[in-house]
Every structure is written in C-alpha cells, then in structure tokens.
Amino acid sequence: MLYPVVMAGGSGTRLWPISRQLNPKQFLSFGNDSATLLQATLLRLDGLAIEAPLIICNEQHRFLAAEQLRQINIDNATIILEPCGRNTAPAIALAALCLAQQNPNAMMLVLAADHMIMDANAFQQAVVRAESLARDGLLVTFGVVPSYPETRYGYIERGDILDDNGFFVRRFVEKPDLVKAKSYVEDGNYLWNSGIFMFSAGRYLEELELLQPRILAACQRALLQGCCDLDFIRIDEEAFAECPGESIDYAVMEQTSAAAVVPLDAGWSDVGSWSALWAIYEKDKKGNVLQGDTLAQDCHNTYISSDSRLVAALGVSDLVVVETKDAVLVAHKDHTQDLEKIVEHLKNDKRHEHLNHCEVHRPWGSYDAVAQGKRYQVKRITVKPGARLSLQKHHHRAEHWVVVSGLARVTVGKRTMLLTENQSTYIPVGEIHCLENPGKIPLELIEVQSGSYLGEDDIVRLEDVYGRI
C-alpha cells in the first residue's frame, strides 16, 4: 500500500506578493493552472495505486488545506497539524507513526506540496522504480537530472548501480558555488536534491531510532498527548516544541547506510523564486512570460503578472513585475532570491501586506476587502451553502449587512430573521450576532464596518462550529 505524505508547511516568502503568510504558495495556483500546487501534487498521482493521503500543515492553514482537498474530491485524507515548525525529519516521523499504528510496512511517498512537475507520466514511472527499491528496505530519494548548473540546490552524488531502478547514494553535497555546480553537471554523476522520498513507515522509524532517538521520542510523546479535532489530528504543542528541529537529509539520509537514489527527469521545479517560474513557463518570441491583463512593448526576458488591473511595461529587460490588489513588486530577476528581506521589512514596520491578501479564506467561505478609511471598512462576504460564521460580538465596531444574492439567516441579539436579495440589517457595537447560509447557493453580502478600531482581532467568539478560539 502506497500512502502519499504531503508536507504543506512553509510560508513561501520568496514568491511575495502572491504568496502570503496566511495563504502561502502551496495553496495558490500559478499561470493558467486552475489547480493549486497542493492539488496538483495529489492530482499527478492519478493512475497509481495509492491509499488516502496524509497532509502535514500548519494549524493556521488547516481549513484552507481541507477545503482544497474537498474541491478535488478527496474526503478521506488525514490532516496532521503542526503546532510549530520543527523541520522535515519530525514532520515525516509524525506521519510514519500514524501509519505504523495500522501497518509498519505501509509505504510512504513523501512529497512537498509546493513543487511543480511538468511530466506526470515520467514522475509516475520514477515512483514505480523507487517503490521496488523501498520494498527491499532502502530509504529512497529522488534526484533530479540537472539541466543547468544551479547554485540554489543541494546535490546528490550517485554511487554504485543497484539495478535498472536506481543507485546507492555516495554522498550529499551542500549548495555549491557556480564553479562547482558546473563541474557537477559536466561530471554526470550528480543530481539535484529534490526533497522527495520513499520508504516504509517502519523502516524510517527504525533509522530514526538508531540515528535520532530524541526526535523519535519527542514525536511519540507529541502524538500520544495529542487529540483528534473534527477532521484533524492535533499534536501536543509542548511535547513537539521539545523536538530537535532537523531536516530529513541531515538527520537520516546523510547518515544512513541504506540510502538510494532514483533519477528523476520530469520537468521538476521547487518554485523557489519568480525567476524559477519564469524559467519553466512558455514564453513569447522575446522571452517574456505574460499573465493576466498585461501589455509588454519592446520588453525582453521579463515576467509580468497582473491580478486585478492592466499592467503595461515599456522597454525593460530581465524584470519581474507582479501586481496584486494591495501590492506591486518590481525586481530584477537576479535579485528575486532576496525577497525575504522585503517581507522582513514589512513585518518590522507592522504592515499587513506580508500576512494576507485582500481576499481572505475562512472555513465558512471568504471575504474581500473592497475599501477602507480611517473609521470605516467595506467587505464583500461569501458564505458557502450550509455554512455559518461564529456567534460573536465586537467591542469597537458596528456592522451593516446588505444581501446581494442568496439567503441569509441572521441572528442579532435575541432576534433571528431571514434576509433575501436587497434586504439589510444593522448590528450595533457590542451586540451578539451570527450569520448563516441555509440555502443551496453561495450567499453574498456587503458588510460595512464603522468604528474606532476595525482589526480582525476585535472578534469575541462565543460559539463556533469549527473549533476556533
């Protein structure tokens, strides 16, 4: 039995302003793709004999992950919530422990949720080859056949051939400088380290017990002291925080004597920067990648993306221009690796643009910030059929709701009413209220907030079906 284990943590700061802390790149779609990176990770497994996937994500992304799985008709996934980031070795250990409770021989295909793979068929063939080696007790990693000397990736030097399926790993190499990267590509025995793995749950736990017993013990305690919450497995935060934070490469793969590598030539990219995206997308005759409402005149080798308005560029080369509703990025392609510095500036200045988009997803639907001023804010709210917001109140703001389409069941104080298109209601400051969609179609309404403070933390939840505090 082959279980996909998808690591969906991370903040994706190098793809700002599209990727944000509360809506990072693994939950976004890029280019003309309708599927998000997380969804594409699972969809490219279609045709393989797989069991229900395990998803490992941050607690703050739990509803986003669950909704995206629902959209592609996956309703039997196990979602493990990390209360804090401890790197990949502990994350994979949590998944292995969960699977080993049912079957120690359960085969794990460990995937990152934020990779692009252009040739799904070639990827599946590599998975089949890796499974053959993993069933012999080896810990298999996938090494991408390099197409150019890349300095952003670690490399794997392949050793003796095992059979037609792969090789022993001779050594792992840290990210090289350009001279070394060129020599690795010319040598032909070096592969990019993809961060994709396959092994049985029991075999990984055996190696972890031998090489990193502290990690294993901490993960065992965290899982034992955790609990199930709705469709999620919550890990005990205090126990997990004591776990050493190590990558699987450093903790296990570089130290085990059972490491094997399967070459992967399938159009792989870790989508680690805007320049990486430019490299893999189809370009026009002048080397430009244009997405959304864009116009490029006399431009060369430029990436231009528009989310909400026309973006026009004239006579520029080697630039990345990315527009969203609340931020615009203009950068040279050679400097997009440094975007984390911009995000850090935004955090230090206590701005909100690193945190979320104007459109924010919630378990009940979403809201889009339309306009705001000193003492007012206007939002467009969409509530999914059958969903409801928490019973709540606000200390500093009043709200006026106007139904645009659909049916709303509104509770204000002790009164409950049904509102249809063009009907409205008013919620005074401090009044207990709730909003529900009892209909069969999405409910859309306009919310006008007014008051001295309009932050999202001015919500006192009295009752919530989604378990939020």
| Domains identified in the chain and CATH numbers | 2-269 (3.90.550.10), 274-345 (no CATH), 359-463 (2.60.120.10)
Tell the residue number behind the tokens 């120690």, with chain if given: 104
CA-to-CA distance for 252 and 176, rounded, in angstroms?
A: 21
| 408-412/433-436 β-pairing | antiparallel
Phi, psi of 118 (to 5 degrees): -80, -30
pLDDT in tens, the chain (469 residues): 899 999 999 878 899 999 999 899 999 998 767 899 999 999 999 999 999 999 999 988 998 999 999 999 999 999 999 999 999 999 999 999 999 998 999 999 999 999 999 999 999 999 999 999 999 999 999 999 999 999 999 999 999 999 889 999 999 999 999 999 999 999 999 999 999 999 999 999 999 999 999 999 999 999 999 998 777 999 999 999 999 999 999 999 999 999 999 999 999 999 989 999 999 889 999 999 999 999 999 999 999 999 999 999 999 999 999 999 999 999 999 999 899 999 999 999 989 899 888 888 888 999 998 988 989 999 999 999 999 999 999 999 999 999 999 999 999 999 999 999 999 999 999 999 999 999 999 999 999 999 999 988 899 999 988 877 6
Predicted pLDDT at 32? 66
Strand order in the sheet with 359-362: 359-362, 365-372, 376-383, 443-451, 397-405, 424-427
CA angle, 260 then 223 then 142, to 5° = 15
Convert the pLDDT of each residue in 422-459 to its tens digit.
Answer: 999 999 999 999 999 999 999 999 999 999 999 888 99
In single-letter form, the type of residue at position 111 comes to L
Q: Output the average pLDDT for the chain.
A: 94
The residue count for the chain? 469
> To which residue do tokens 């090789």 refer?
167
Contact 408, 435 (CB under 8 A): yes
pLDDT at position 34, please? Answer: 84
Beta carbons of 62 and 220 less than 8 angstroms apart? no
Name the residue among 368, 359, 339, 197 with its Cα closest to residue 277. Answer: 339
Q: Give, for 205, the enclosing helix (H) or strand (E).
A: helix 201-211
